[in-house]
Amino acid sequence: MNDLARFFVRTLATTVLGLVLVAWPVYAFLGSGHLIAVVAGSLVGIVNIIIAWIFNKKAVAAGESRMLRSLLSGMLLRFLVVTVAILWVAKATDLNVYTFSFALLGFYLILQVFEVNFLQKQLS
């Protein structure tokens, strides 16, 4: 299994575990609309971390002179993806924007652990 596949499987497994842990409480106390918003937030989180992995892999391969530029451009692209996703949810869907944003932030923070571990392994 190549690096991207292994990274994707670990990311997906962690996301599914997180969804399993929060699905019943969210559904029981807030309803199915909020559960759908949580799932949508987690999916955007997965897309975000996969984009991060791709840009970080290119940044490490680019060498020290271009590494910072590549890392920052990846961060900018990811920020734009998240911003567009939040704006799209706010304008074009009936999802609860607060639940979506909170879930996106939560999954983003959890999945950052994988990004930091990846960078730490690549740079050491």
Distances (CA, A) of 67 to 71, 76, 92, 116: 6, 14, 37, 15
Low-confidence ranges of the chain (pLDDT < 70): 1
Long-range contacts, 82-91 (Cβ 8 Å, 24+): 82/44, 82/48, 82/108, 85/44, 89/37, 89/40
Q: What is the model's pTM?
A: 0.83
Distance (Å, whole) CA 57 – CA 116: 12
pLDDT of residue 113: 85
pLDDT of residue 64: 75
Amino acid, res. 99: T
DSSP letter at 34? H
pLDDT of residue 49: 87
pLDDT of residue 68: 80
56-84 pLDDT per residue, tens = 888 888 777 788 888 888 888 888 988 99
Count each helix (H run) and each strand (E run) in the chain, helices first.
4, 0
pLDDT of residue 111: 84
Q: Is 77 helix (H, G, I), strand (E, B) or coil?
A: helix
pLDDT of residue 67: 81
